[in-house]
């Protein structure tokens, strides 16, 4: 009889434990999340409060699998954009106006000449690059650059065919120009990628100065925007409609400062974007068609002088909040979601090249919220400009100092 009672008691306890683990309020703890402070320990520039928990300074996360970042080339000249070719090699833009092809062991081609000419002054030059989804058959390349035009410079998009001898771009054609032109050398934005519908997504900056800053909120200007066009440069079918009847039909989202990173979420296909803030307020945004992302009306940063920006507000109805922000800044540039199988715990993590941060960010994301942050290759002390995933499932990153890194399992 005692045995039967004990058995019933034990079974009852197991039932209770089982029901507890299935409770909707039970939250599993990622074993890689580290208790205590996050990776950022420096004091913020402001006392602004985030709009929700986990919007900034989340807990640190640590990769448990051994990996290494290896500099496989130091021969690039101010590289800015990198894209993986179908044969495993990498196509890289150089700010002064040429492209190079690199093997996965770091061997570099000679310069590939690109027409039209770029204006490389300041933050301008030959910028982001992507290849056509049908590159294997059509060899088409698309890129963003700062172009000299009447009235100054502007962010422009061009396309052309990589010659069979890989020494030039053939039939280069400018397909889109983001107006108005401005006589300045800052905040061109400059990334480009294909969305899942075969259209081009392009990021443009608001050109930095107080004279052009308000144009980020204007739907009749192409500055401070995410643009969606087809491969001929025309507004893509299905673009959102804005309330102003004079709104540019190529607009996808508005209210951006200097967006230098674009990436497609591997499961949803949504566009994620990185954006330079001023002094504080670097952002990661999950873009939705027709939305306003707030600059310069709301921001988590301040002027470089220390003065408040606008009304010093961080939230306003009708303006979108960033998924994540940094204060102090890291200057997030190119980025990519990891979809490889080399390091399983990196699956769907977002990797971001950080310039002033001199490291590569890894953000762990669940349900469109950041739950962990890791800093990689910080000891290299490099300004990381862009990062992509190669066809071999390794990550490849370029730096302003001319290095090409391969990041992979040890």
Tally of CB atoms within 10 A around 344: 9
Cα–Cα distance for residue pair 182/152, rounded to 1 Å: 5
Give the distance, in angstroms, between the CA of residue 161 and the centroid of all CA atoms in the same chain: 25
Three-class secondary structure of residue 10 per DSSP:
helix
Q: Is 256 a catalytic residue?
A: no
Q: Are 189 and 205 in contact (CB under 8 A)?
A: yes
Q: Are 249 and 235 in contact (CB under 8 A)?
A: yes
- Nearest alpha carbon to residue 272 among 304, 236, 218, 320: 320
Cα–Cα distance for residue pair 254/292, rounded to 1 Å: 5
The catalytic residue among 187, 256, 276, 359 is 187
- Mapped to the 3 state alphabet, what secondary structure does the chain carry? CHHHHHHHHHHHHHHHHHHHHCCCCCCCCCCCEECCCCCCCCCCCCCCCCCCCCCCCCCEECCCCCEEEEEEECCCCCEEEEEECCCCCEEEEECCCEEEEECCCCCECCCEECCCCCCCCCCCCEEEEEECCCHHHHCEEEEEEEEEECCEEEEEEEEEEECCCCCEEEEEEEEEEEEEEECCCCCCCCCEEECCCCCEEEECCCCCCCCCHHHHHCCCCCCCEEEEECCCCCECCCCCCCCCCCCCCCEEEECCCEEEEEEECCCCCCEEEEEECCECCEEEEECCCCCECCCCCECCCECCCCCCCCCCECCCCCCCCCCEEECCCCCEEEEEECCCCCCHHHCCCEEEEECCCCEEEEEEEECCEEEEEEEECHHHCCCEEEEEECCCCCEEEEECCCCEEEEEEC
Residues with catalytic roles = 187
């Amino acid at each position: 009889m005692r045995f039967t009672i004990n058995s019933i008691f034990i079974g009852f306890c197991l039932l209770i434990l089982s029901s507890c683990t299935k409770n909707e309020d039970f939250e599993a703890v990622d074993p890689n999340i580290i208790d205590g402070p996050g990776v950022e320990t420096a004091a913020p520039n402001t006392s602004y409060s985030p709009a929700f928990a986990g919007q900034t300074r989340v807990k640190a996360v640590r990769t448990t699998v051994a990996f290494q970042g290896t500099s496989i080339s130091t021969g690039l000249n101010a590289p800015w954009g990198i894209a993986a070719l179908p044969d495993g090699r990498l196509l890289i833009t150089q700010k002064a106006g040429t492209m190079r092809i690199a093997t996965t062991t770091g061997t570099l081609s000679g310069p590939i000449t690109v027409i039209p000419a770029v204006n490389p002054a300041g933050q301008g030059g030959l910028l982001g690059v992507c290849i056509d989804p049908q590159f294997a058959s059509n060899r088409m390349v698309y890129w963003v650059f700062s172009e000299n035009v009447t009235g100054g410079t502007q962010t422009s998009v061009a396309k052309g065919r990589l010659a069979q001898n890989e020494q030039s771009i053939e039939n280069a054609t400018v397909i889109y120009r983001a107006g108005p032109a401005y006589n300045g050398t800052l905040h061109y934005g400059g990334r480009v990628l294909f969305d899942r519908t075969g259209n081009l997504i392009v990021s443009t900056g608001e050109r930095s100065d107080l004279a052009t800053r308000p144009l980020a909120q204007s739907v009749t200007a192409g500055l401070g925007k995410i643009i969606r066009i087809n491969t001929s440069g025309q507004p893509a079918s299905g673009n959102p409609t804005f309330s102003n009847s004079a709104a540019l039909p190529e607009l996808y989202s508005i209210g951006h400062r200097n967006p230098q990173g674009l990436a497609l979420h591997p499961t949803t296909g949504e566009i994620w974007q990185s954006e330079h803030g001023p002094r504080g307020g670097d952002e990661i945004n999950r873009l939705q068609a027709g939305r306003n992302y707030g600059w310069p009306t709301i921001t988590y940063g301040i002027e470089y002088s220390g003065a408040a920006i606008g009304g010093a507000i961080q939230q306003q109805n009708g303006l979108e909040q960033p998924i994540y922000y940094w204060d102090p800044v890291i200057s997030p540039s190119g980025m990519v979601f990891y979809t490889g199988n080399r390091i399983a715990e990196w699956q769907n993590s977002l990797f971001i090249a950080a310039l002033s941060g001199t490291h590569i960010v890894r953000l762990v994301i669940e349900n469109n919220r950041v739950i962990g942050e890791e800093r990689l290759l910080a000891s290299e002390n490099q300004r990381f400009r862009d990062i992509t995933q190669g066809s071999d499932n390794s990550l490849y990153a370029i730096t302003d100092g001319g290095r090409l890194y391969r990041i992979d399992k040890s």
